[in-house]
A and B are shown apart, each in its own frame.
Chain A
């Protein structure tokens, strides 16, 4: 393939300057790494059933506290089952789901073993509070300030979505779309309380 007539025993031809080569290869490697990671993130869910849920703090709406506090962190709830539900006032199916959620909260709250942490995703506070009042909802509820909590669970969220975290902070179940009935929710939560 060599056509320039160089005698192979001559000193090696000077190729591109070394610094240029290093620069190009380093740049290419960096780009491929970034692309690969981006692709990986796009195709694989960040959190899957069985993995530990990173800690987060949820600031609650006025009037919807948990045990008197208006801020809750997931880590503080170790030892209890946590139901993390995402909704927004402009999400029509969330309206359908909310009575179910409310009845489930009424069912589980007295026992204290199950905590509902409901996250309002990119919403206008006034509208959210209006929604809560309209549907007579009482569970702990707060806005996802800075949209920091939602990306932990799903980068392309389509509400409503619910994630059930067990007493050790492991994600045990995820429900994309609304729960249709109290029985549905109970079938997801009860095994965690009883089975332990």
Chain B
């Protein structure tokens, strides 16, 4: 009953989304406010309906309705409740529902803003969001129906179907297969929703961009409206990516957080287009330039969102992360083609309406540096895109399968990331409109002095790796410059307003949220860079087989193998857990407990024992794919220096974005 209800509601939602788009188009061309209003309400209604559908699916997941094929495939009786609920996005069909649910939520939120100044945008924003929503709903309705149930035919075969095939009865398994054990992790709870929120969030600025192109209101109004939406979408996408890294670090047992896997890159690419977009819309606001480029960037971001979703789900790419192959590949392909072609055609149509108003007078002005930032990000994007697509091309043309792996990406993007670090240092010092080396130098020399100490100190401490020396110096430089900028602003306020330090800090930030929030975000990025450089350049690893009592060494640490225990756990898995003591210079620092669990269905999950400090992670893995016994236990140990700054930096990123996006009092009512 519930399954039919859920599916029925889903179909209605799909039709309603189509209606909303159609009504909006009619309203625009017939110049009828009534039709436009109707389309807006229809879009709001889709959220109510899809919530009903999603909630009914969640209910069936939580209560174990195993006759529903999706419930059977991702849940089982032994899973805890929270995991059963989050199994909603554990498989292809359910995650598509989540995608549509979040898309509908964002679209509805947009419909609630005050449209008085922008009535002509409304229909087209509705059209774009409704059509995107309808597309994803169509995938659920026609291809990956999460409500299909299992039917047993008279000859014993069991197959899923929405409606009962002739001569078959409902098949109710006694238990589900359960979620793949690798996915039973807190990472699973947060990473997909965050990522999807980021993807879906970028549809909003795209919708406004298209609205601007269609209506001809190509000034920066659409940019101002979507500024905060873009920032929020960017935040979710960034957090989603970081959570993915954290999850991979914790679960895979590879000692790393990023493996340049095509699916990882597919999620990174929208970020690589969205971040320069975030920066260059500021240029459009401040100087009226780069209008064509901004249009291109947001079209690119949206297309990469759809493209990335397509890559990970269609079976075109092979990856550890990819969903199982599905039949809707052609649908995606057509949708990508149509949206990209239409968007570009619109842009070309309006090209000369998007002429710049300002001029770029100096190569070191802030807008010029922002452009450089764009160039570098797009450069990295091209490397990533080409690396992902090339194996496909090679296979199609020569039949030969190839791997494009980490060495390619690291070598190609390394210098570009470093250049971005340099830019992050210079840009706050350069002014809008005009800057020269002299003007920048005048401000830069003070924070540059302590920066010089950094490579010297590192050199004294035996750091000879030039990449690390350069990287750490740049990180320190950016931090010093940014803090100096804060310092200058605070001093200015103290002098002119007579405030004390903290009041000045608070007011300074509050009055210029975007700027100073942006500075905090930059600091967070370089802090993350600290972690990335540390683990990327200084990771050491070793693998040894020990008997109880024996020791192994790595990077000045001594690990003593203390004990091994094997025992069954409540949910039926067989746990093998080792205890090792960590010593440095003879002093006992602590214990680590690497283990691996073997689930009843045979799936092994490695859980590394990690000792984390600000300086490094000691990451110990019980190598369960070799023979494990008390006399012969293989361990793989990684020393990951500075890796925790990656996670610390991401928390700072969250705070910085909150500051930057916090609505100003005067704006409520006029912007949203």
Direct contact between A and B judged by beta carbons closer than 8 A? yes
The chain A residues found within 8 Å of chain B, CB to CB, are 1-4, 13-16, 21, 24-25, 28, 31-32, 34-39, 41-43, 147, 151
15 A-B pairs with C-beta separation under 8 A: A1-B214, A1-B215, A3-B217, A14-B351, A15-B349, A16-B292, A16-B351, A28-B344, A34-B389, A35-B392, A38-B392, A38-B396, A39-B329, A39-B330, A151-B399
Q: Is the CB of A34 within 8 A of B315?
A: no
Contact of B216 (CB < 8 Å), options: A2, A16, A37: A2
Q: Is the CB of B333 within 8 A of A13?
A: no
Contact of A31 (CB < 8 Å), options: B325, B349, B389: B389
Q: Is the CB of A43 within 8 A of B327?
A: yes
Q: Is the CB of B315 within 8 A of A4?
A: no
Q: Which residues of B are found within 8 Å of A2, using beta-carbon distances? A: 216
Q: Is the CB of A42 within 8 A of B329?
A: yes
Contact of A34 (CB < 8 Å), options: B217, B292, B393: B393
Q: Is the CB of B329 within 8 A of A14?
A: no
Residue B401 CB within 8 A of the other chain: yes
Residue B441 CB within 8 A of the other chain: no
- Which secondary structure dominates chain B's binding surface? helix
Beyond A34-B393, A34-B396, A42-B316, 12 additional contacts (C-beta under 8 Å) are A1-B216, A3-B217, A16-B351, A21-B348, A31-B389, A32-B336, A32-B337, A37-B392, A38-B316, A38-B395, A39-B329, A43-B330
Q: Which residues of A are found within 8 Å of B347, using beta-carbon distances? A: 16
For chain B, the count of residues having a C-beta within 8 Å of the partner chain is: 31
Q: Is the CB of B216 within 8 A of A4?
A: yes
Q: Is the CB of B337 within 8 A of A39?
A: no
Q: Which residues of A are found within 8 Å of B314, using beta-carbon distances? A: 39, 42
The CA of A57 and the CA of B493, in the complex, are separated in Å by: 80
Contact of A151 (CB < 8 Å), options: B216, B333, B349, B401: B401
Q: Is the CB of A43 within 8 A of B329?
A: yes
In the assembled complex, the CB of A120 is this many whole angstroms from the nearest CB of chain B, namely: 18
Q: Is the CB of B353 within 8 A of A4?
A: yes
Q: Which residues of B are found within 8 Å of A3, using beta-carbon distances? A: 215-217
In the assembled complex, the CB of B213 is this many whole angstroms from the nearest CB of chain A, namely: 11
Q: Is the CB of A37 within 8 A of B396?
A: yes
Q: Is the CB of A35 within 8 A of B316?
A: yes
Contact of A24 (CB < 8 Å), options: B325, B344, B389: B344
Which of B217, B292, B389 counts the most A-chain CB atoms under 10 A from its CB? B389
The CA of A24 and the CA of B348, in the complex, are separated in Å by: 11
Residue B599 CB within 8 A of the other chain: no
Residue B340 CB within 8 A of the other chain: yes
With contact pairs A31-B389, A38-B396, A39-B329 given, residues A15 and B352 touching in the complex (Cβ less than 8 Å)? yes
Chain B residue nearest to A54 (CB atoms) is B399
Q: Which residues of A are found within 8 Å of B344, using beta-carbon distances? A: 24-25, 28
In the assembled complex, the CB of B321 is this many whole angstroms from the nearest CB of chain A, namely: 16
Q: Which residues of A are found within 8 Å of B340, using beta-carbon distances? A: 28
Chain A residue nearest to B29 (CB atoms) is A1
In the assembled complex, the CB of A53 is this many whole angstroms from the nearest CB of chain B, namely: 15
The CA of A14 and the CA of B351, in the complex, are separated in Å by: 8
Residue B565 CB within 8 A of the other chain: no
The CA of A15 and the CA of B349, in the complex, are separated in Å by: 7
Chain A residue nearest to B344 (CB atoms) is A24
The chain B residues found within 8 Å of chain A, CB to CB, are 214-217, 292, 314-316, 325, 327, 329-330, 333, 336-337, 340-341, 344, 347-349, 351-353, 389, 392-393, 395-396, 399, 401
Contact of B333 (CB < 8 Å), options: A1, A15, A28, A36: A36
Chain B residue nearest to A35 (CB atoms) is B333
Q: Which residues of B are found within 8 Å of A34, using beta-carbon distances? A: 389, 392-393, 396
Contact of A39 (CB < 8 Å), options: B316, B352, B353, B389: B316
Q: Which residues of A are found within 8 Å of B325, using beta-carbon distances? A: 42-43
With contact pairs A34-B392, A39-B330, A41-B396 given, residues A28 and B341 touching in the complex (Cβ less than 8 Å)? yes
Q: Which residues of B are found within 8 Å of A151, using beta-carbon distances? A: 399, 401
Q: Which residues of A are found within 8 Å of B392, using beta-carbon distances? A: 34-35, 37-38
The CA of A173 and the CA of B308, in the complex, are separated in Å by: 37
Contact of B315 (CB < 8 Å), options: A36, A37, A43, A147: A43
Closest 10 CB pairs of A and B: A3-B216, A16-B351, A42-B315, A38-B392, A15-B351, A37-B396, A38-B316, A39-B329, A16-B348, A13-B352
Q: Which residues of A are found within 8 Å of B333, using beta-carbon distances? A: 32, 35-36, 39
Chain A residue nearest to B311 (CB atoms) is A35
The CA of A34 and the CA of B347, in the complex, are separated in Å by: 24
Q: Which residues of A are found within 8 Å of B351, using beta-carbon distances? A: 14-16
Q: Which residues of B are found within 8 Å of A37, using beta-carbon distances? A: 392, 396
In the assembled complex, the CB of B597 is this many whole angstroms from the nearest CB of chain A, namely: 23
In the assembled complex, the CB of B261 is this many whole angstroms from the nearest CB of chain A, namely: 17
Q: Which residues of B are found within 8 Å of A16, using beta-carbon distances? A: 292, 347-348, 351
The CA of A2 and the CA of B352, in the complex, are separated in Å by: 13
Which of A14, A15, A38, A39 counts the most B-chain CB atoms under 10 A from its CB? A38
The CA of A81 and the CA of B406, in the complex, are separated in Å by: 45
Which of A35, A43, A151 counts the most B-chain CB atoms under 10 A from its CB? A35
In the assembled complex, the CB of A151 is this many whole angstroms from the nearest CB of chain B, namely: 7
The CA of A121 and the CA of B215, in the complex, are separated in Å by: 59
Chain A residue nearest to B329 (CB atoms) is A39
Q: Which residues of A are found within 8 Å of B214, using beta-carbon distances? A: 1
In the assembled complex, the CB of B117 is this many whole angstroms from the nearest CB of chain A, namely: 16
The CA of A4 and the CA of B396, in the complex, are separated in Å by: 47
The CA of A10 and the CA of B395, in the complex, are separated in Å by: 50
The CA of A15 and the CA of B353, in the complex, are separated in Å by: 9
Q: Which residues of B are found within 8 Å of A1, using beta-carbon distances? A: 214-216
Q: Is the CB of B348 within 8 A of A14?
A: no
Chain B residue nearest to A146 (CB atoms) is B400
Q: Which residues of A are found within 8 Å of B401, using beta-carbon distances? A: 147, 151
Q: Is the CB of B215 within 8 A of A14?
A: no
Chain B residue nearest to A21 (CB atoms) is B348
In the assembled complex, the CB of B274 is this many whole angstroms from the nearest CB of chain A, namely: 20
In the assembled complex, the CB of A81 is this many whole angstroms from the nearest CB of chain B, namely: 26
Q: Which residues of B are found within 8 Å of A14, using beta-carbon distances? A: 351-352
Chain A residue nearest to B399 (CB atoms) is A151
In the assembled complex, the CB of B227 is this many whole angstroms from the nearest CB of chain A, namely: 24
In the assembled complex, the CB of B124 is this many whole angstroms from the nearest CB of chain A, namely: 11
Q: Which residues of A are found within 8 Å of B215, using beta-carbon distances? A: 1, 3
Chain B residue nearest to A2 (CB atoms) is B216
Q: Which residues of A are found within 8 Å of B341, using beta-carbon distances? A: 28
The CA of A38 and the CA of B336, in the complex, are separated in Å by: 15
Chain A residue nearest to B347 (CB atoms) is A16
The CA of A2 and the CA of B215, in the complex, are separated in Å by: 8
Q: Which residues of B are found within 8 Å of A32, using beta-carbon distances? A: 333, 336-337
The CA of A38 and the CA of B348, in the complex, are separated in Å by: 29
In the assembled complex, the CB of A104 is this many whole angstroms from the nearest CB of chain B, namely: 29
In the assembled complex, the CB of B643 is this many whole angstroms from the nearest CB of chain A, namely: 34
The CA of A3 and the CA of B348, in the complex, are separated in Å by: 16
